[in-house]
């Protein structure tokens, strides 16, 4: 027999060098009473939608012996109609592409426009999957600057793009985990800088708008015209309350949609997924009804956390970054203490800060009570 008979760790496997010693994405999935750690929508789908999904999926099940529509034309048409209606700007299905969650959309973009010998740049702290998917696709990752208040300093960001000449630029707006929305002028300045840095064919600029529906800023869809390498990435996981569905989509120039066909797996979007997403899109108004409620709960969280004397970052999303804790150890101690009170929030590794998702009013009350109790306990401990 040749080779090693047993494998005791990943290091014994011939995995790619750049994956060695790295950790997978892994927000804890713990069974606790109040789960406010993954920016999900706390409201289950309404019964009439569950019934419609059942009907649509039953229909789809009759043809599961066949592959699904590889181009998901009906679904892309409905998504385009949703975008047209909410942005007040016409979009057609040739500008829209859908995949299993916006993470898969981002992966397909990086497979197409990134890859070995190429780089992607994002402004950190930001959504950790931008760096992880870059690594997974062999794309080099570059970390760009942010101000102390987590906004993007346009001048510094433009300078970073000019210096590094990335192939792909990520702008997360509203940004996860800070909640900060990015001004249209900043997006435009970064787009121009990215094109100027790569005059041959330009660079891809991806605006990750996973939380777009929660933002006070108008949609960037009108900017797509005349900007062939600008991409808006969206998801049904947050505002639509359908994280379990796994449906993300992008809007861009039709040429970008054609380009991702080169890397997408054939029939990547199952007939069951397409049927479920179509049913959800029939109930857009009901689903988006929760968005207003979540925005007002988010604003209440900001007010009440500030009233407790905590630092809170302005949020345009369905979550709030709060802190002022003593470095990474301080925020982690608060995270653990909240968990002991049955409340799970997110430690994104931003020293001194934690992130809480806006839940139902009852969940938010439980969270706020736990924060009051925990800050009191920690104060008493430090004074003892
Ligand atoms: C900024 C951002 N983009 C993309 C995603 C991925 O969402 P999904 O793959 O569920 O569409 C998330 C999920 O938390 C996110 O926060």
Q: How is 269-287 classified by DSSP, letter by letter?
A: S-HHHHHHHHHHHHTHHHH
* Rounded alpha-carbon distances, angstroms, from residue 146 to 75, 94, 118: 37, 35, 23
Cβ(133)–Cβ(19) below 8 Å? no
Over 80: is that where the pLDDT of 7 sits? no
- Residue 108 alpha carbon to ligand 1 centre in Å: 14
- What is the per-residue pLDDT for 107? 98
For ligand 1, say whether the CB of 237 is within 6 Å of any of its atoms: yes
Q: Within 13 A of 61's CA, how many CA atoms are on the CB side?
A: 6
Q: Helix H segments across the chain?
A: 47-61, 73-87, 101-113, 128-136, 154-164, 184-197, 254-260, 271-282, 284-307, 327-340, 361-383
- C-beta of 241 in contact with ligand 1 (< 6 A): no
pLDDT at 26 over 80: no
User: Who has greater pLDDT, 85 or 3?
Assistant: 85
Distance CA 297, CA 335 (A): 21
Q: What is the pLDDT of residue 381?
A: 82
Q: Residue 95 pLDDT > 80, yes or no? A: yes
205 HSE (CA, 13 A, CB side) = 27
- Spatial CA neighbour of 140 closest among 163, 122, 158: 122
Query: 134 in a domain, yes or no?
Result: yes
- Domain shared by 355 and 306, yes or no: yes
For residue 212, how far is its CA from the centre of ligand 1 (angstroms)? 11
Residue 45 CA to residue 357 CA, distance in Å, equals 18
Best residue among 25, 103, 357 to mutate for probing ligand 1's pocket (most ligand atoms within 8 Å of CB) is: 103
By CB neighbour count within 10 A (0-12 exposed, 13-18 middle, 19+ buried), where does 362 fall?
A: exposed
Domain boundary among 231, 251, 282: 282
Q: What is the mean pLDDT of residues 303-315?
A: 96
Candidate from 37, 127, 213 with most ligand 1 atoms within 8 A of CB, to mutate: 127
The pLDDT of 123-132, averaged and rounded, is 96
Same domain, 108 and 236: yes
What spacing in Å lies between the alpha carbon of 339 and ligand 1's midpoint? 24
pLDDT in tens, 349-372: 999 999 999 999 999 999 999 999
In terms of domains, do 301 and 374 share one?
A: yes
Same domain, 249 and 374: no
State the CATH number of the domain containing residue 264: 3.40.640.10
Mean pLDDT of the 19-35 span: 83
- In degrees rounded to 5, what are phi and psi of residue 205? -115, 115
CB-side neighbour CA atoms (13 Å) of 55: 10
Same structural domain, 275 and 363: no
| Mean pLDDT, rounded, for 321-345 | 94
Q: Same domain for 289 and 276? A: no
Binding site membership of 127 for ligand 1 (Cβ less than 6 Å)? yes
- Cα 142 to Cα 131, 174, 341: the distances in Å are 8, 20, 38
Same domain? 191 vs 135? yes
Å from CA of 319 to ligand 1 middle: 13
Q: Does 101 contact ligand 1 (Cβ within 6 A)? A: yes
Per the structure, the count of domains in the chain is 2
3-class SS of residue 153 = coil
User: pTM of whole model > 0.75?
Assistant: yes
Q: Do 93 and 139 have their domain in common? A: yes
**Cα–Cα distance for residue pair 235/332, rounded to 1 Å:** 30
Q: Which atom of ligand 1 is nearest to the CA of 235?
A: 11
Whether 6 maps to a domain, the answer reads no
d(CA 361, CA 299): 12
**Structure token digits, residue 201:** 């064919």
Question: CA angle at residue 210 from 206 to 212, to 5 degrees?
Answer: 95
The percentage of residues in the chain with a pLDDT greater than 90, rounded to a whole number, is 86
Answer whether residue 376 is part of any domain.
yes
- Ligand 1 atom nearest the C-alpha of 102 is 11
What is the rounded distance in angstroms from the CA atom of residue 97 to the CA atom of residue 78? 11
> What's the pLDDT score for residue 224?
96
Q: 58 and 30 in one domain?
A: no
Strand partners, 206: 170, 231
Answer yes or no: do 333 and 184 share one domain. no
Does the residue 130 lie in any domain?
A: yes
Question: What element of type H or E holds 204?
Answer: strand 204-208
- Which pLDDT value is given to residue 3? 60
List, for residues 219-247, the tens digit of each pLDDT value. Answer: 899 999 999 999 999 999 999 999 999 99
Task: Assign 265 a pLDDT band (cuts: 50, 70, 90).
Answer: very high
Q: Is 276 a pocket residue for ligand 1 (Cβ < 6 Å)?
A: no
Asked whether 172 lines ligand 1 (CB < 6 A), one says yes
Distance, in Å, from the CA atom of 333 to the CA atom of 353, rounded to the nearest integer, reads: 11
CB-based contacts of 303, cutoff 8 Å, min separation 6: none
In angstroms, the first-to-last Cα distance of the chain is: 64
Closest ligand 1 atom to Cα of 236: 11
Q: Is residue 121 part of a domain?
A: yes
Q: 194 lies in a domain? A: yes
291, part of any domain: yes
- Ligand 1: centre distance to CA 6 (Å): 37
Here the tokens at position 343 are: 């409340």
Mark which of 249, 282, 315 sits at the end of a domain: 282
The CA dihedral of 311, 313, 319, 324, to the nearest 10 degrees, is -30
Per-residue pLDDT at 2? 59
Please indicate, yes or no, whether residues 325 and 257 belong to a single structural domain of this protein. Answer: no
State whether 228 and 142 are in the same domain.
yes
Calculate how far, in angstroms, residue 176's C-alpha sits from the geometric centre of ligand 1. 9
Residue 360 located in a structural domain: yes
Q: Taking residues 185-206, what's their average pLDDT?
A: 97
What is the residue range of 224's domain?
A: 54-282
Q: Give yes or no for residue 176 CB within 6 A of ligand 1.
A: yes
CA of 300 to the centre of ligand 1 (A): 24
Query: What distance in Å separates the CA atoms of residue 105 and residue 100, rounded to the nearest whole number?
Result: 7
Is 235 near ligand 1, meaning CB less than 6 Å away? yes
Q: Rounded to whole angstroms, how far apart are CA atoms 84 and 79?
A: 9
Domain boundary among 282, 298, 313: 282
Top mutation candidate among 128, 235, 247, 348 for ligand 1, by most atoms within 8 Å of CB: 235
């Amino acid at each position: 027999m040749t080779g090693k008979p047993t494998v005791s760790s990943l290091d014994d496997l011939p995995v790619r060098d750049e994956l060695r010693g790295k950790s997978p994405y892994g927000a804890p999935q713990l069974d606790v009473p109040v789960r406010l750690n993954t920016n999900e929508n706390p409201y289950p789908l309404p019964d009439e939608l569950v019934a419609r999904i059942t009907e649509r999926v039953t229909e789809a099940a009759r043809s599961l012996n066949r592959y699904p529509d590889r181009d998901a034309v009906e679904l892309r048409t409905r998504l385009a109609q949703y975008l047209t209606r909410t942005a007040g700007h016409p979009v057609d299905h040739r500008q829209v592409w859908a995949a299993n969650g916006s993470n898969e959309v981002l992966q397909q973009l990086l497979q197409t426009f990134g890859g070995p010998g190429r780089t992607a740049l994002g402004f950190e702290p930001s959504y950790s999957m931008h760096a992880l998917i870059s690594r997974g696709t062999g794309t080099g990752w570059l970390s760009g600057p942010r101000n102390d208040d987590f906004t993007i300093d346009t001048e510094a960001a433009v300078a970073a793009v000019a210096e590094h000449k990335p192939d792909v630029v990520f702008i997360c707006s509203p940004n996860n985990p800070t909640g900060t929305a990015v001004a249209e002028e900043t997006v435009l300045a970064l787009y121009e800088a990215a094109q100027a840095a790569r005059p041959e064919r330009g660079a891809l600029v991806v605006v990750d708008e996973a939380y777009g529906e929660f933002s006070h800023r108008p949609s960037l869809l009108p900017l797509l015209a005349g900007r062939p390498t600008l991409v808006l990435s969206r998801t049904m996981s947050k505002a639509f309350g359908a994280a379990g569905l796994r449906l993300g989509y992008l809007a861009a120039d039709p040429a970008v949609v054609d380009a991702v066909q080169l890397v997408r797996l054939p029939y990547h979007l199952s007939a069951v997924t397409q049927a479920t997403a179509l049913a959800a899109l029939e109930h857009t108004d009901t689903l988006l009804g929760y968005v207003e409620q979540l925005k007002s709960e988010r604003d209440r969280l900001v007010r009440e956390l500030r009233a407790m004397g905590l630092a809170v970052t302005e949020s345009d999303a369905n979550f709030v970054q709060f802190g002022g804790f003593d470095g990474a150890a301080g925020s982690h101690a608060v995270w653990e203490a909240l968990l002991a009170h049955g409340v799970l929030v997110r430690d994104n590794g931003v020293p001194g800060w934690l992130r809480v998702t806006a839940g139902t009013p009852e969940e938010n009350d439980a969270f706020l009570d736990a924060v009051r109790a925990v800050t009191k306990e920690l104060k008493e401990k430090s004074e003892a």
